[in-house]
Amino acid sequence: VVDRREIETRGLERVVFFSDAVFAIAATLLVIDLRLPEGLANVSDSDFNLELGKLLPRVLIYVLSFAMVGLYWLVHWVRFQMIDRIDARLVILNLLLLGTVALIPFPTALIGEHGDRPVAVVIYALTLAAAGILGPVTWIYADRAGLIRDDIPPQVVRLGTLRGMSAPVVLLGSLSLLPFVGAGWVEASWLLIFVFQGLVTRRMARFDDAAEAEPPAS
């Protein structure tokens, strides 16, 4: 008889590596839009530098989107270290998450070129919020379906949900400012996501240390 457990582990590994590939490709495709227009071969150096300068907003949005994909990957990485079984529903929820992550190059290109238009800001925030919300959704599902390791204390599970919500909350909340402060300030407010993440990470680390010092009864 084949070892069921071993097969499940292999199946879980494959989901994780497939996810890694999608995250990695989405993150790396972001750079494709970072390019100069054609026909600059014969312009003067100062005109050339001017064109380069116009790329700056795209470089900034590249940095932001890479950081967001990196953050979502990091949270996925943390979560799947705490998940030790998998079922078809979790795989499908994970595919939904990957489908929105794979979409991120589109709003990135959109906001890189049209960052001053409110509709571009809305589409960017909605896409990234959707990808962000699907993280806690898979996490809550995994918790209810009993796919999370037994030795994870309930506070860590709850913090895992909270952590995942900070990005969507900031993204959606920022949209409410759009009519008052303009696209640029809304985009700047997204940096709060990384501040919140830092705070939750520090809190989780404290639980982690506590868990190491005093392991839960098993």
Would you tell me which residues interact with a copy of itself (CB under 8 A)?
Answer: 1-2, 7, 10-11, 13-18, 20-32, 34-36, 40-41, 45, 48-49, 52, 62-63, 66-67, 70, 73-74, 77-78, 80-81, 84, 88, 91-92, 95, 98-99, 102-103, 105-106, 109-110, 113-114, 117, 119, 123, 149-151, 201, 205, 215, 218
- Shortest Å, Cβ 89 to a copy of itself: 9
**In which residue are the tokens 């932001």 written?**
64
Give Dmax (Cα) for the chain: 74
Instruction: Enumerate the β-bridge partners of residue 90.
Output: none
Of the pair 96, 173, the CB lying nearest a copy of itself is at: 96
The least CB distance from residue 109 to a copy of itself, in Å, is 6
Measured between alpha carbons, how far is 170 from 175 in angstroms, rounded to an integer? 9
Q: Which is nearer to a copy of itself, 173 or 207 (CB)?
A: 207
Closer to a copy of itself by CB, 95 or 165: give it: 95
Buried b (16+ CB within 10 A) or exposed e, 103-137: ebbebbbbbbeebeeeebbbbbbbbbbbbbbbbbe
Measured distance CA(149)–CA(7) in Å, rounded? 17
Map tokens 């582990």 to a residue: 9
49, 40 contact by CB (below 8 A): no
Supply the minimum distance, in Å, between the C-beta of residue 64 and a copy of itself: 11
Smaller CB separation from a copy of itself, 95 or 173: 95
CB neighbours of 82 closer than 8 A, spacing ≥ 6?
A: 148, 149, 152, 156, 157, 160
Beta carbon of residue 157, minimum distance to a copy of itself (angstroms, whole number): 15
| Nearest-approach distance from CB 189 to a copy of itself, in angstroms | 22
